[in-house]
Protein backbone atom coordinates (compact mmCIF):
# COMPACT_ATOMS: atom_id res chain seq x y z
CA UNK A 1 0.00 0.00 0.00
CA UNK A 2 1.18 3.48 -0.84
CA UNK A 3 1.08 5.88 2.06
CA UNK A 4 -0.31 8.62 -0.19
CA UNK A 5 -3.32 6.31 -0.55
CA UNK A 6 -3.71 5.53 3.17
CA UNK A 7 -6.33 7.96 4.50
CA UNK A 8 -5.21 7.93 8.13
CA UNK A 9 -2.85 10.54 9.51
CA UNK A 10 -0.50 10.20 12.43
CA UNK A 11 -0.82 12.71 15.24
CA UNK A 12 1.43 14.09 17.92
CA UNK A 13 -1.04 13.91 20.79
CA UNK A 14 -3.57 11.33 21.90
CA UNK A 15 -6.93 12.57 23.28
CA UNK A 16 -6.43 14.16 26.73
CA UNK A 17 -8.80 11.73 28.44
CA UNK A 18 -6.95 8.67 27.11
CA UNK A 19 -4.76 7.22 29.86
CA UNK A 20 -3.86 3.79 28.45
CA UNK A 21 -0.52 3.47 26.64
CA UNK A 22 -1.97 1.01 24.12
CA UNK A 23 -4.77 3.36 23.05
CA UNK A 24 -2.52 6.44 23.11
CA UNK A 25 -0.02 4.87 20.70
CA UNK A 26 -2.66 3.21 18.49
CA UNK A 27 -4.62 6.48 18.18
CA UNK A 28 -1.49 8.54 17.47
CA UNK A 29 -0.36 6.08 14.79
CA UNK A 30 -3.83 6.05 13.17
CA UNK A 31 -4.69 2.41 13.95
CA UNK A 32 -7.86 3.07 15.93
CA UNK A 33 -10.33 5.86 16.62
CA UNK A 34 -11.80 6.59 20.02
CA UNK A 35 -15.57 7.02 19.72
CA UNK A 36 -16.11 7.30 23.50
CA UNK A 37 -14.74 5.69 26.66
CA UNK A 38 -14.28 1.96 26.03
CA UNK A 39 -15.53 2.19 22.43
CA UNK A 40 -12.95 2.11 19.65
CA UNK A 41 -13.19 1.80 15.85
CA UNK A 42 -10.50 -0.03 13.90
CA UNK A 43 -8.93 1.83 10.96
CA UNK A 44 -7.04 0.21 8.04
CA UNK A 45 -3.74 -0.39 9.87
CA UNK A 46 -5.48 -1.49 13.06
CA UNK A 47 -7.81 -3.84 11.24
CA UNK A 48 -4.85 -5.46 9.47
CA UNK A 49 -3.28 -6.27 12.86
CA UNK A 50 -6.58 -7.47 14.34
CA UNK A 51 -7.15 -9.70 11.30
CA UNK A 52 -3.66 -11.21 11.62
CA UNK A 53 -4.45 -12.12 15.22
CA UNK A 54 -7.86 -13.47 14.20
CA UNK A 55 -6.19 -15.53 11.44
CA UNK A 56 -3.78 -17.18 13.89
CA UNK A 57 -6.58 -17.97 16.35
CA UNK A 58 -8.79 -19.34 13.53
CA UNK A 59 -6.03 -21.70 12.34
CA UNK A 60 -5.58 -23.06 15.84
CA UNK A 61 -9.32 -23.44 16.45
CA UNK A 62 -9.77 -25.26 13.14
CA UNK A 63 -6.77 -27.40 14.10
CA UNK A 64 -8.62 -28.83 17.12
CA UNK A 65 -11.78 -29.46 15.14
CA UNK A 66 -13.64 -26.20 15.77
CA UNK A 67 -16.39 -25.28 13.29
CA UNK A 68 -16.84 -21.57 12.73
CA UNK A 69 -20.26 -19.97 13.21
CA UNK A 70 -21.55 -16.45 13.78
CA UNK A 71 -24.34 -15.95 16.28
CA UNK A 72 -26.40 -12.81 16.73
CA UNK A 73 -25.68 -9.97 19.12
CA UNK A 74 -29.39 -9.52 19.87
CA UNK A 75 -30.41 -11.94 22.59
CA UNK A 76 -33.73 -13.54 23.54
CA UNK A 77 -34.61 -12.84 27.17
CA UNK A 78 -36.50 -16.14 27.60
CA UNK A 79 -33.37 -18.24 26.91
CA UNK A 80 -31.34 -16.34 29.49
CA UNK A 81 -34.07 -16.58 32.10
CA UNK A 82 -33.72 -20.36 32.03
CA UNK A 83 -30.20 -20.11 33.48
CA UNK A 84 -31.06 -17.11 35.69
CA UNK A 85 -28.49 -14.99 33.86
CA UNK A 86 -31.02 -12.40 32.63
CA UNK A 87 -31.10 -11.21 36.25
CA UNK A 88 -29.09 -7.98 36.71
CA UNK A 89 -28.09 -9.09 40.18
CA UNK A 90 -26.41 -12.17 38.70
CA UNK A 91 -24.91 -10.46 35.63
CA UNK A 92 -23.98 -6.85 36.28
CA UNK A 93 -22.73 -5.86 32.82
CA UNK A 94 -25.74 -6.38 30.51
CA UNK A 95 -26.62 -3.86 27.88
CA UNK A 96 -30.36 -4.31 27.41
CA UNK A 97 -32.70 -2.74 24.90
CA UNK A 98 -36.27 -3.21 23.73
CA UNK A 99 -38.45 -3.56 20.66
CA UNK A 100 -41.03 -0.89 19.82
CA UNK A 101 -43.69 -3.11 21.39
CA UNK A 102 -41.78 -3.17 24.68
CA UNK A 103 -40.30 -6.69 24.36
CA UNK A 104 -36.94 -6.72 26.14
CA UNK A 105 -33.78 -7.87 24.34
CA UNK A 106 -30.17 -8.22 25.43
CA UNK A 107 -26.95 -7.42 23.60
CA UNK A 108 -24.82 -10.53 24.05
CA UNK A 109 -21.94 -10.42 26.54
CA UNK A 110 -21.21 -14.15 25.93
CA UNK A 111 -23.03 -16.96 24.08
CA UNK A 112 -23.41 -20.12 26.21
CA UNK A 113 -27.20 -19.82 26.37
CA UNK A 114 -28.09 -19.21 22.70
CA UNK A 115 -25.60 -21.79 21.42
CA UNK A 116 -26.81 -24.45 23.88
CA UNK A 117 -30.39 -23.68 22.80
CA UNK A 118 -29.38 -23.88 19.11
CA UNK A 119 -27.59 -27.22 19.57
CA UNK A 120 -30.84 -28.83 20.72
CA UNK A 121 -31.82 -28.96 17.03
CA UNK A 122 -28.58 -30.69 16.05
CA UNK A 123 -27.40 -32.92 18.89
CA UNK A 124 -29.74 -35.89 19.38
CA UNK A 125 -27.80 -39.10 19.83
CA UNK A 126 -24.37 -40.12 21.08
CA UNK A 127 -23.39 -40.32 17.39
CA UNK A 128 -23.72 -36.53 17.07
CA UNK A 129 -20.95 -35.88 19.61
CA UNK A 130 -18.39 -34.43 20.04
CA UNK A 131 -19.02 -30.94 18.65
CA UNK A 132 -16.89 -27.80 18.99
CA UNK A 133 -18.20 -24.52 17.55
CA UNK A 134 -16.58 -21.12 17.70
CA UNK A 135 -17.02 -17.59 16.44
CA UNK A 136 -15.40 -14.18 16.24
CA UNK A 137 -18.22 -11.99 17.42
CA UNK A 138 -18.80 -8.57 18.91
CA UNK A 139 -19.67 -8.65 22.58
CA UNK A 140 -21.23 -5.86 24.60
CA UNK A 141 -20.39 -5.40 28.26
CA UNK A 142 -21.30 -2.46 30.44
CA UNK A 143 -17.87 -2.41 32.06
CA UNK A 144 -17.75 -0.17 35.15
CA UNK A 145 -14.26 1.10 34.36
CA UNK A 146 -13.02 1.39 30.80
CA UNK A 147 -9.60 2.92 31.31
CA UNK A 148 -7.44 0.28 29.67
CA UNK A 149 -7.91 1.25 26.03
CA UNK A 150 -8.71 -1.68 23.73
CA UNK A 151 -7.83 -4.08 26.55
CA UNK A 152 -11.20 -3.39 28.17
CA UNK A 153 -13.83 -2.28 25.69
CA UNK A 154 -17.56 -1.91 26.24
CA UNK A 155 -17.94 -3.30 22.72
CA UNK A 156 -15.22 -5.72 21.68
CA UNK A 157 -14.45 -8.72 19.52
CA UNK A 158 -14.27 -12.09 21.23
CA UNK A 159 -13.34 -15.48 19.95
CA UNK A 160 -15.55 -17.83 21.89
CA UNK A 161 -15.46 -21.57 21.41
CA UNK A 162 -17.87 -23.99 23.06
CA UNK A 163 -17.35 -27.74 23.33
CA UNK A 164 -20.02 -30.42 23.64
CA UNK A 165 -19.00 -33.89 24.79
CA UNK A 166 -20.49 -37.23 25.83
CA UNK A 167 -18.94 -37.29 29.28
CA UNK A 168 -16.32 -35.84 31.60
CA UNK A 169 -13.50 -37.99 30.19
CA UNK A 170 -13.92 -36.94 26.58
CA UNK A 171 -14.46 -33.36 27.75
CA UNK A 172 -11.16 -33.45 29.70
CA UNK A 173 -9.33 -34.65 26.57
CA UNK A 174 -10.71 -31.81 24.48
CA UNK A 175 -10.05 -29.29 27.25
CA UNK A 176 -6.37 -30.28 27.26
CA UNK A 177 -6.21 -29.95 23.45
CA UNK A 178 -7.75 -26.49 23.68
CA UNK A 179 -5.23 -25.50 26.36
CA UNK A 180 -2.36 -26.55 24.09
CA UNK A 181 -3.90 -24.61 21.17
CA UNK A 182 -4.06 -21.52 23.39
CA UNK A 183 -0.40 -21.91 24.33
CA UNK A 184 0.45 -22.04 20.62
CA UNK A 185 -1.63 -18.94 19.90
CA UNK A 186 0.18 -16.83 22.51
CA UNK A 187 3.54 -18.15 21.27
CA UNK A 188 2.68 -17.28 17.68
CA UNK A 189 1.61 -13.69 18.41
CA UNK A 190 4.86 -13.05 20.28
CA UNK A 191 3.64 -13.25 23.89
CA UNK A 192 4.74 -16.79 24.72
CA UNK A 193 7.52 -15.81 27.12
CA UNK A 194 5.29 -13.42 29.12
CA UNK A 195 2.14 -15.55 29.26
CA UNK A 196 1.39 -17.98 32.10
CA UNK A 197 -1.21 -20.73 32.35
CA UNK A 198 -2.86 -19.53 35.54
CA UNK A 199 -5.07 -21.48 37.93
CA UNK A 200 -8.23 -19.52 38.63
CA UNK A 201 -11.60 -20.19 40.19
CA UNK A 202 -13.60 -22.90 38.45
CA UNK A 203 -17.17 -22.18 39.47
CA UNK A 204 -19.42 -24.99 40.66
CA UNK A 205 -18.48 -27.68 38.12
CA UNK A 206 -14.71 -27.91 38.26
CA UNK A 207 -12.15 -27.01 40.82
CA UNK A 208 -10.19 -24.67 38.56
CA UNK A 209 -10.47 -22.80 35.34
CA UNK A 210 -7.36 -21.79 33.43
CA UNK A 211 -6.59 -18.21 32.59
CA UNK A 212 -3.84 -17.17 30.22
CA UNK A 213 -2.26 -14.22 31.96
CA UNK A 214 0.34 -11.99 30.30
CA UNK A 215 2.68 -10.08 32.59
CA UNK A 216 2.29 -6.32 32.17
CA UNK A 217 1.96 -3.34 34.47
CA UNK A 218 -1.12 -2.41 32.42
CA UNK A 219 -2.89 -5.52 33.72
CA UNK A 220 -5.63 -5.38 36.33
CA UNK A 221 -5.04 -8.84 37.85
CA UNK A 222 -2.55 -10.00 40.47
CA UNK A 223 -1.04 -13.43 39.90
CA UNK A 224 1.63 -15.49 41.61
CA UNK A 225 4.06 -16.98 39.14
CA UNK A 226 6.20 -20.07 39.51
CA UNK A 227 9.17 -19.54 37.18
CA UNK A 228 10.39 -23.14 37.29
CA UNK A 229 7.06 -24.67 36.31
CA UNK A 230 5.95 -21.72 34.13
CA UNK A 231 2.55 -21.71 35.82
CA UNK A 232 0.77 -19.17 37.99
CA UNK A 233 -2.04 -18.89 40.51
CA UNK A 234 -4.57 -16.08 40.43
CA UNK A 235 -4.65 -14.14 43.70
CA UNK A 236 -8.38 -14.94 43.91
CA UNK A 237 -7.67 -18.62 44.59
CA UNK A 238 -4.25 -18.54 46.28
CA UNK A 239 -4.52 -20.76 49.36
CA UNK A 240 -2.90 -23.84 50.96
CA UNK A 241 -5.16 -26.26 49.08
CA UNK A 242 -4.18 -24.90 45.66
CA UNK A 243 -0.49 -24.93 46.57
CA UNK A 244 -0.81 -28.57 47.63
CA UNK A 245 -2.70 -29.48 44.44
CA UNK A 246 0.02 -27.93 42.30
CA UNK A 247 2.90 -29.26 44.40
CA UNK A 248 4.39 -25.80 44.90
CA UNK A 249 5.40 -23.70 47.90
CA UNK A 250 4.27 -20.16 48.66
CA UNK A 251 7.87 -18.92 48.91
CA UNK A 252 8.60 -20.10 45.34
CA UNK A 253 5.97 -17.70 43.99
CA UNK A 254 6.43 -14.10 42.89
CA UNK A 255 3.56 -11.60 42.75
CA UNK A 256 3.09 -9.90 39.36
CA UNK A 257 0.57 -7.70 37.60
CA UNK A 258 -0.97 -9.34 34.57
CA UNK A 259 -3.84 -9.18 32.09
CA UNK A 260 -6.11 -12.11 31.34
CA UNK A 261 -5.79 -12.59 27.57
CA UNK A 262 -7.68 -15.88 27.49
CA UNK A 263 -9.79 -18.08 29.71
CA UNK A 264 -10.90 -21.71 29.41
CA UNK A 265 -13.67 -23.16 31.51
CA UNK A 266 -15.28 -26.53 32.20
CA UNK A 267 -19.02 -25.95 32.39
CA UNK A 268 -20.15 -29.48 33.26
CA UNK A 269 -23.90 -29.83 32.65
CA UNK A 270 -24.91 -26.45 34.06
CA UNK A 271 -26.19 -25.11 30.73
CA UNK A 272 -27.36 -28.39 29.22
CA UNK A 273 -29.41 -29.12 32.38
CA UNK A 274 -30.98 -25.66 32.41
CA UNK A 275 -31.82 -25.60 28.71
CA UNK A 276 -32.49 -29.32 28.20
CA UNK A 277 -29.61 -30.21 25.87
CA UNK A 278 -29.54 -34.01 26.10
CA UNK A 279 -28.47 -36.84 23.80
CA UNK A 280 -29.73 -40.40 23.84
CA UNK A 281 -27.05 -42.89 24.84
CA UNK A 282 -26.53 -46.44 23.49
CA UNK A 283 -29.46 -47.63 25.63
CA UNK A 284 -31.66 -44.84 24.33
CA UNK A 285 -31.65 -43.01 27.66
CA UNK A 286 -31.38 -39.15 27.74
CA UNK A 287 -28.05 -37.86 29.11
CA UNK A 288 -27.07 -34.17 29.51
CA UNK A 289 -24.21 -32.97 27.28
CA UNK A 290 -20.94 -31.99 29.03
CA UNK A 291 -19.78 -28.53 27.97
CA UNK A 292 -16.78 -26.22 28.06
CA UNK A 293 -16.18 -22.62 26.99
CA UNK A 294 -12.99 -21.04 25.74
CA UNK A 295 -12.55 -17.27 25.22
CA UNK A 296 -9.90 -14.95 23.82
CA UNK A 297 -10.21 -11.22 23.13
CA UNK A 298 -8.27 -10.44 19.92
CA UNK A 299 -8.46 -6.71 20.72
CA UNK A 300 -7.24 -7.23 24.26
CA UNK A 301 -4.43 -9.35 22.81
CA UNK A 302 -3.54 -6.56 20.39
CA UNK A 303 -3.52 -4.02 23.24
CA UNK A 304 -1.34 -6.34 25.31
CA UNK A 305 1.18 -6.64 22.45
CA UNK A 306 1.36 -2.83 22.30
CA UNK A 307 1.87 -2.59 26.07
CA UNK A 308 4.58 -5.26 25.92
CA UNK A 309 6.61 -4.04 22.94
CA UNK A 310 5.75 -0.35 22.45
CA UNK A 311 8.57 2.10 23.30
CA UNK A 312 9.03 5.85 23.61
CA UNK A 313 9.05 6.21 19.81
CA UNK A 314 5.87 4.24 19.17
CA UNK A 315 4.53 0.83 18.26
CA UNK A 316 6.73 -2.26 17.76
CA UNK A 317 5.02 -5.23 16.11
CA UNK A 318 6.15 -8.85 16.21
CA UNK A 319 6.38 -10.06 12.59
CA UNK A 320 3.40 -12.42 12.80
CA UNK A 321 0.90 -9.66 13.62
CA UNK A 322 2.47 -6.62 11.92
CA UNK A 323 0.18 -4.72 9.52
CA UNK A 324 2.95 -4.88 6.90
CA UNK A 325 6.19 -6.84 6.83
CA UNK A 326 8.24 -3.98 5.37
CA UNK A 327 8.11 -0.20 5.55
CA UNK A 328 9.75 1.18 2.42
CA UNK A 329 10.65 4.81 3.09
CA UNK A 330 11.75 6.87 0.10
CA UNK A 331 13.63 10.15 0.53
CA UNK A 332 13.13 11.80 -2.85
CA UNK A 333 15.85 13.92 -4.43
CA UNK A 334 15.50 17.04 -6.62
CA UNK A 335 17.07 15.24 -9.58
CA UNK A 336 14.29 12.64 -9.51
CA UNK A 337 16.67 9.65 -9.42
CA UNK A 338 15.26 7.99 -6.33
CA UNK A 339 11.59 7.83 -7.35
CA UNK A 340 11.78 5.33 -10.24
CA UNK A 341 14.08 3.01 -8.28
CA UNK A 342 11.87 3.18 -5.17
CA UNK A 343 8.70 2.66 -7.26
CA UNK A 344 10.34 -0.32 -8.96
CA UNK A 345 11.36 -1.91 -5.67
CA UNK A 346 7.85 -1.42 -4.28
CA UNK A 347 6.27 -3.06 -7.34
CA UNK A 348 8.70 -5.96 -7.24
CA UNK A 349 8.23 -6.67 -3.52
CA UNK A 350 4.47 -6.38 -3.81
CA UNK A 351 4.40 -8.74 -6.81
CA UNK A 352 6.34 -11.30 -4.77
CA UNK A 353 3.59 -11.16 -2.15
CA UNK A 354 5.59 -9.17 0.40
CA UNK A 355 3.31 -6.85 2.38
CA UNK A 356 4.87 -3.42 1.93
CA UNK A 357 3.82 -0.01 3.16
CA UNK A 358 5.52 2.47 0.83
CA UNK A 359 6.10 5.98 2.14
CA UNK A 360 5.87 7.81 -1.17
CA UNK A 361 4.73 11.09 0.40
CA UNK A 362 6.33 14.48 -0.13
CA UNK A 363 7.52 14.95 3.42
CA UNK A 364 10.77 15.62 5.23
CA UNK A 365 13.08 12.80 6.29
CA UNK A 366 12.36 13.73 9.91
CA UNK A 367 8.59 13.38 9.47
CA UNK A 368 8.96 10.11 7.59
CA UNK A 369 11.27 8.51 10.16
CA UNK A 370 9.13 9.76 13.04
CA UNK A 371 6.00 8.28 11.48
CA UNK A 372 7.81 5.07 10.60
CA UNK A 373 8.95 4.58 14.20
CA UNK A 374 5.42 5.37 15.43
CA UNK A 375 3.74 2.93 13.02
CA UNK A 376 6.18 0.22 14.12
CA UNK A 377 6.54 -2.09 11.11
CA UNK A 378 9.30 -4.65 11.92
CA UNK A 379 11.68 -3.79 9.07
CA UNK A 380 12.32 -0.41 7.44
CA UNK A 381 14.12 0.01 4.14
CA UNK A 382 15.19 3.59 3.50
CA UNK A 383 16.02 4.46 -0.06
CA UNK A 384 17.67 7.82 -0.84
CA UNK A 385 20.17 9.48 -3.20
CA UNK A 386 22.88 8.42 -0.75
CA UNK A 387 21.85 4.75 -0.68
CA UNK A 388 21.28 4.42 -4.45
CA UNK A 389 24.78 5.74 -5.03
CA UNK A 390 25.82 2.41 -3.48
CA UNK A 391 23.00 0.44 -5.23
CA UNK A 392 21.69 -0.14 -1.73
CA UNK A 393 18.96 0.53 0.78
CA UNK A 394 19.44 1.08 4.49
CA UNK A 395 17.74 -1.64 6.52
CA UNK A 396 16.67 -0.90 10.08
CA UNK A 397 15.17 -3.35 12.53
CA UNK A 398 12.44 -1.62 14.57
CA UNK A 399 12.84 -3.86 17.64
CA UNK A 400 16.64 -3.89 17.97
CA UNK A 401 17.45 -0.64 16.15
CA UNK A 402 20.14 -2.53 14.20
CA UNK A 403 21.09 -0.83 10.92
CA UNK A 404 22.82 -2.33 7.86
CA UNK A 405 23.21 -1.57 4.17
CA UNK A 406 21.63 -4.09 1.80
CA UNK A 407 22.20 -4.21 -1.97
CA UNK A 408 18.97 -3.50 -3.85
CA UNK A 409 19.48 -6.73 -5.79
CA UNK A 410 19.61 -8.65 -2.47
CA UNK A 411 16.51 -7.09 -0.93
CA UNK A 412 14.23 -9.70 -2.49
P1 LIG B 1 -12.02 -9.72 32.98
O2 LIG B 1 -11.95 -10.56 34.22
O3 LIG B 1 -10.71 -9.15 32.56
O4 LIG B 1 -13.12 -8.72 32.97
P5 LIG B 1 -13.57 -11.81 31.95
O6 LIG B 1 -13.16 -12.89 32.89
O7 LIG B 1 -14.85 -11.12 32.19
O8 LIG B 1 -12.40 -10.72 31.83
P9 LIG B 1 -14.21 -13.65 29.89
O10 LIG B 1 -15.65 -13.59 30.12
O11 LIG B 1 -13.45 -14.85 30.31
O12 LIG B 1 -13.51 -12.34 30.48
O13 LIG B 1 -13.94 -13.32 28.35
C14 LIG B 1 -13.06 -14.07 27.52
C15 LIG B 1 -11.95 -13.20 26.98
O16 LIG B 1 -12.48 -12.04 26.34
C17 LIG B 1 -11.03 -12.65 28.05
O18 LIG B 1 -10.04 -13.60 28.35
C19 LIG B 1 -10.46 -11.42 27.36
O20 LIG B 1 -9.38 -11.78 26.51
C21 LIG B 1 -11.61 -10.94 26.51
N22 LIG B 1 -12.33 -9.84 27.16
C23 LIG B 1 -13.16 -9.89 28.21
N24 LIG B 1 -13.66 -8.70 28.52
C25 LIG B 1 -13.13 -7.84 27.60
C26 LIG B 1 -13.27 -6.44 27.36
N27 LIG B 1 -14.09 -5.69 28.11
N28 LIG B 1 -12.59 -5.89 26.32
C29 LIG B 1 -11.78 -6.65 25.54
N30 LIG B 1 -11.61 -7.97 25.72
C31 LIG B 1 -12.27 -8.56 26.73
MG1 LIG C 1 -12.07 -14.12 33.70
Query: Mind listing the pLDDT tens digit for each residue in 232-262?
Result: 999 999 999 999 999 999 999 999 999 999 9
User: Is the CB of 302 inside a 6 Å radius of any atom of ligand 1?
Assistant: no
Find the 76 Cα to ligand 2 centroid distance in Å. 24
The pLDDT, as a whole number, for residue 136 is: 98
- To test ligand 1's pocket by mutation, which of 140, 213, 260, 302 has the most ligand atoms within 8 angstroms of CB? 260
Check pLDDT > 90 for residue 412: no
Domain ranges of the chain: 3-222+257-309, 324-411
Percent of the chain with pLDDT over 70: 100
Judged by its nearest atom, the ligand closest to the C-alpha of residue 200 is: 2
Per-residue pLDDT, averaged over 35-61, amounts to 98
Q: Is 296 in the pocket of ligand 1 (CB under 6 A)?
A: yes
Of ligand 1's atoms, which has the minimum distance to the CA of residue 110?
A: 10
Residue 139 Cα, ligand 1 centroid: separation in angstroms?
A: 10
Confirm or reject: Cβ of 158 under 6 Å from ligand 1: yes
Three-state SS letters, the chain: CECCCCCCCCCCCCCCCCCCHHHHHHHHCCCEEEEECCEEEECHHHHHHHHHHHHHHHHHHHHCCCEECCCCCEEEHHHHHCCCCCCCCCCCCCEEEECCCCCEEEECCCCHHHHHHHHCCCCCEHHHCCEEEEEEEEEECCCCCCCCHHHCCCEEEEEEEEEEECCHHHHHHHHHHHHHHHHHHHHHCCCCCCEEEEEEECCCCCCEEEEEEEECCCCCEEEEEECCCCEEEEHHHCCHHHHHHHCCCHHHCEEEEEEEEEEEEEEECHHHHHHCCEEECCCCCEEECEEEEEEECHHHHHHHHHHHHCECCECCCCHHHCCCCEEEEECCCCCCCHHHHHHHHHHHHHHCCCCEEEECCCCCHHHHHHHHHHHCCCEEEEECHHHHCCCEEEEEECCCCCEEEEEHHHHC
- Say if 3-222+257-309 and 324-411 have the same CATH topology: no
Q: How many A from CA of 87 to the centre of ligand 1? A: 20
Superfamily the domain 3-222+257-309 falls into: Bira Bifunctional Protein; Domain 2 (3.30.930.10)
User: Mean pLDDT throughout 294-303?
Assistant: 98
pLDDT at residue number 205: 78
Q: What is the pTM of this model?
A: 0.97
Pick the ligand that lies closest to the CA of residue 154: 1
* Atom 31 of ligand 1, residue of closest alpha carbon: 297
pLDDT digits (tens, 9 = 90+) for 319-363: 999 999 999 999 999 999 999 999 999 999 999 999 999 999 999
Q: Does any ligand 1 atom lie closer than 6 A to the CB of residue 380?
A: no
Question: For a substitution probing ligand 1, which of 218, 297, 306, 307 has the most ligand atoms within 8 Å of its CB?
Answer: 297
Instruction: Name the residue with the closest Cα to ligand 1, atom 11.
Output: 263
User: Given a cut of 90, is residue 287 above it in pLDDT?
Assistant: yes
Average pLDDT over residues 391-402: 98
Q: Whose CA is nearest to atom 23 of ligand 1?
A: 297
Atom 24 of ligand 1 has which residue's CA nearest to it? 152
pLDDT > 90: percent of the chain: 98
Average pLDDT over residues 119-136: 98
**Is residue 396 lining ligand 1, measured as CB closer than 6 Å?**
no
**Closest protein CA for atom 3 of ligand 1:** 260
Fold for the domain defined by 324-411: Rossmann fold (3.40.50)
Contact at 8 Å (CB) between 153 and 37? no
Q: Which atom of ligand 1 is nearest to the CA of 109?
A: 10
How many angstroms does the Cα of residue 263 sit away from the middle of ligand 2? 6
Split at pLDDT 50, 70, 90, the class of 204 is: confident
CA of 84 to the centre of ligand 2 (A): 19
For ligand 1, mutation pick of 295, 302, 305, 307 (most atoms within 8 Å of CB): 295
Amino acid sequence: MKQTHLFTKTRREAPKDEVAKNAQLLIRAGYINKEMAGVYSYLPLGLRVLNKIVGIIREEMNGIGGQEVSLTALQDKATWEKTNRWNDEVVDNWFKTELKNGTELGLGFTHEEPLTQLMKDHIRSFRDLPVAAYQFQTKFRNEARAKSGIMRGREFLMKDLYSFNLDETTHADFYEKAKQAYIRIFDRVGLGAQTYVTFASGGSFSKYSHEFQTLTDAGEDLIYIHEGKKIAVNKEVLNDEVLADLGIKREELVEKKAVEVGNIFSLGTRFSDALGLVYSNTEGKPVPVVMGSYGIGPGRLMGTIVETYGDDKGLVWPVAVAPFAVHLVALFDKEGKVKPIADGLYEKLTKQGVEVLYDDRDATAGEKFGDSDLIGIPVRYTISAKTIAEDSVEKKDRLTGKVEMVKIADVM
